[in-house]
Amino acid sequence: MDIVIPLFDRFEPLDAIGPYEIFGYMPGANVRFVTDEPGPVQDVLGALPVHVPTRYSEVESCDVLLIPGGGSHLTMMDDPAFLDWVRRIHAGTRFTTSVCTGALVLGAAGLLKGLTATTHWNAIADLESYGAVYTAERVVRQDRVITSAGVSSGIDMAIQLAALLTDEVTAQAIQLYTEYDPEPPFDTGSVAKASAQVIEMARALDG
């Protein structure tokens, strides 16, 4: 089971590392990080450089392609060669997935036209500009394409995908092992629940 996650500078850490934690425990799974040029890739928060040894251009196929979000999505969207690679890889995947603003990369590659999809709540208009139909659901599956909403929702998506790639008992065991049983201290995890003041402050974090 070959799973490929492209990392570019200013990637959102949990977008990639959350699903990686889940996928890494799937029997037979091999997770690879790829980038444009081998070497250190910096996360958007600035303190988590990741050494990525493989060029994305070296990958000709995979079972699962996962596009994370963060500031890196702008770099990916502005690279015609990368978007062409996404289209080629998607043609042979079992599942093509995204977390957060990674959905905009799928949109820029033309993979979301006419599909229902989700992304970070602050990128809804951008998603719809690519012909996708936005929904506020945390995880949305449209045949082989699975999109997930902001940052933490990538864990939900990865557990659902683990069930599809293995079986529900295996996915449940991984969920138990990682003790993914959220009890958030505040009920402000979506714009439908947050106050105007919290929403304004959250928008300011997206710098």
Catalytic residue among 16, 26, 76, 100: 100
Decide: 123 and 177 in contact? Cβ < 8 Å.
no
62 is catalytic: no
Sign of torsion over alpha carbons 203, 204, 205, 207: positive
173's tokens: 């065991």
What's the helix, strand, coil split of the chain in %, to 5?
40, 20, 40
5's tokens: 């996650």
**Bridge partners, 7 (sequence order):** none
117's tokens: 């999809």
**Bridge partners, 97 (sequence order):** 66, 146
Decide: 135 and 118 in contact? Cβ < 8 Å.
yes
Which residues are catalytically annotated? 100
